Amino acid sequence: MTVTEIFDTMDYGPAPESAAEALAWLVDQGDRFGHFIDGAFTAPGTGFDSRNPATGEVLATLTQASETEVNAAAAAARRAQGKWERLGGPGRARHLYAIARLLQKHARLFAVLETLDNGKPIRESRDIDVPLAQRHFYYHAGMAQLMETELPDARAIGVCGQIIPWNFPLLMLAWKIAPALAMGNTVVLKPAEYTSLTALLFADICRQAGLPKGVVNIVTGDGAVGEMIVTHPGIDKIAFTGSTEVGRKIRAATAGSGKALTLELGGKSPYIVFDDADLDSAVEGLVDAIWFNAGQVCCAGSRLLVHEPVAERFHAKLRARMDKLRVGDPLDKCIDVGAVVDPVQHAAITDMVAGNTEGAVHHANVTLPERGCFYPPTLITGLSPSDRLMQEEIFGPVLVSTTFRTPGEAVQLANNTCYGLAASVWTENVNLALDIAPKLAAGVVWVNATNLFDAAAGFGGVRESGFGREGGWEGLSAYTRPKARPKALAPMPPFPAGDGAPADPLDRTAKLYVGGKQARPDGGYSRAVWSKSGALLGHVPLANRKDLRNAVEAAQAASGWARTSGHLRAQILYYLAENLSARGDEFAHRIDTLTGKRGGEKEVQAAIQRLFTAAAWADKYDGQVHGVPIRGVALAMKEPVGIIGTLCADEAPLLGLVAVMAPAIAMGNRVVLAASEPFPLAATDFYQVLETSDVPAGVVNILTGSHAELAAPLASHLGVDAVWSFSSTDLSGEIERASAGNLKRCWVNNGQATDWTAPDLRPFLEAATEVKNIWVPYGE
């Protein structure tokens, strides 16, 4: 073939990577593996085969963990945890650094084994997965070193159960194990059934690094093993990456257990191309967005939204590029798209595409290998936003597309999904890009780029893509808890009915406060509120589901509050504090009368201080610019969660309401507050302050009634984005179970008391915000 002919065809010759070293390592282990528990491998037992998806050949036989082995792993982790935490941040940093160095020394072995086990091209495992895994251990070695000075009030959670998927076996392991160990936790990790080999190689690395026994434990098996970890009473925290369906089950299974939980779930990420974009670059970006790892990426840009003026031209360029993709042996360094992980996943992709009757389907004109789990890169255009393939995650090399006319329509289409993991925006207009990015319901937004990751920038989603972040400073909260140990909170019932005369001879009718107005309860029922001495203090309405619905609708109508400036929100909070102070004596007397104690004046002053502190934070609780290794920046923007429903503290009728309301609205949220159940009249007095303090209608809504009756409707309401519960009635389990429907964020007290006099609002500010990382590359 002449040079001219080579340039005409641009054919690539094969460039195979040798698998000899990886296969030799498997042989050295006897091609059979037990579990890694308490620093040693157990004897292999009854199990299952791990196969190369590109050939179908058996690589090794793994052991299916039993309950006995999961118990042993959890017990080993528990024994090791205290000593590991007491080693201190610098001591843990040395171990993490040693692991990172060993990952570098054995980088090629990890890359080849990953490709054999998973089917992804060697270029991806060599150049992306393994270097990023190393980066996470280096980065979190630094976090461990800094923990004692930068996080002085934080301690480890304890034993962490971690369940990872098959699409990024080593990288997901690093994302979870590195921060857990850095913060002083120990780990029981279950790799995916299909792809456990690099986790077992990592276990060998842990031994070489001298990691203390029991700090890392790895058990293999199917979903039943994951279920044992999730429900194990000796595990304090669950971190799961996988499907939304399984995430819901885990949320329900852990409800009421007190286990910390982070979920990184599915996605249907939009890839938005405007008419002024560099179309050729956008096409190349799509290759990385959807055909990287054969589309088996939770944040894959699987939903293409193209500006109508350029749609036909863009699709033509895309089809031409697709036909030049190289599909084949993943160990060939010239291959673009490797194998799908397993015949089961291949069949699921095939069935979803075959079941689609809408739009035009283009399969790339490529030759597939005769054996193995290979699926051709596919584009389906002309779909409607409601079509199944536009809404459901395919998790394969399949791209679906529709068009838009205006930037506003692009945002509507992008957000028209239950997911919210990632998004890509392509435009040469930086003003347009930075206008669109904050409007997208996604935890990560890439501008003129896609699939950029780094340990310094947190990754995670909103909506049904899960909650919590992995990486960055924000990721550490998932593996730490406050050093202060809370006390048990006793249930606080209302005072019993008495026979005394009314405390106020002129009856004042308390109502609900919904949409900036006082409202009668839908059910028409009220209950009497009695003092400790038996005097009748008044009556409060009993809110029901319809009242809750009305309050949520009022909060939805006040969505513009999130777009106001922090300065404006601060001014309103200062004004609230001023007006509350003017009526301080009245509120103090009311609290003393309600509670039968003499702490009303202190509670009022504390509430005023909370309003001032929240006002101070309103324009100062800033994001960050992460130092990521690109020519550009990753902007960590703190955004409001949305609508927060709260069961307020019973023991502090005014402070317990103000302390949750103030930081929530300071960050731009709207709230639905269920007032103190035994002492609700302080809340019904407080809405008079709200009415005179320029708080926009719907930003704050106050209900009174039974916490037990409001908890489940509040937690299951699809219009509520987060639920907080500080009630003395422990409703934590019920709230967490009901929240699984749309995976809303929960902050519950698990029957433990909250110190309402603590001046630090940062735990409330953190719970009231989501971190969105916006990646903005720059330069020519």
- Which of 17, 69, 206, 298 does the annotation list as catalytic? 298
Handedness of CA 587, 593, 594, 600 (dihedral sign): positive
How far is CA 663 from its chain centroid? 21
3-state secondary structure of 258: coil
Rounded to whole angstroms, what are the CA distances from 450 to 285, 565, 572? 6, 30, 40
Please tell me the distance from the alpha carbon of residue 58 to that of residue 81, in angstroms, as a whole number: 37
Please tell me the distance from the alpha carbon of residue 326 to that of residue 742, in angstroms, as a whole number: 39
Please tell me the distance from the alpha carbon of residue 676 to that of residue 706, in angstroms, as a whole number: 9
Cα angle 245-248-253, degrees, rounded to a multiple of 5? 130
**193 in active site:** no
Cα angle 487-663-490, degrees, rounded to a multiple of 5? 20
Rounded to whole angstroms, what are the CA distances from 682 to 26, 505, 586, 702, 706? 69, 18, 10, 11, 16
- Which of 264, 474, 603, 651 does the annotation list as catalytic? 264
Please tell me the distance from the alpha carbon of residue 585 to that of residue 591, in angstroms, as a whole number: 10
Q: Which of 611, 684, 676 is nearest to 649 (CA)?
A: 676
**770 in active site:** no
Consecutive H or E run containing 112: helix 107-118
| Cβ neighbours, 10 Å, residue 718 | 10
Q: Which of 542, 560, 586, 780 is nearest to 674 (CA)?
A: 542
Please tell me the distance from the alpha carbon of residue 292 to that of residue 32, in angstroms, as a whole number: 31
Please tell me the distance from the alpha carbon of residue 380 to that of residue 398, in angstroms, as a whole number: 8
How far is CA 135 from its chain centroid? 21
Q: Where are the beta strands (DSSP E) in 533-692?
A: 536-541, 624-626, 632-640, 643-647, 670-674
- Which positions are catalytic? 264, 298
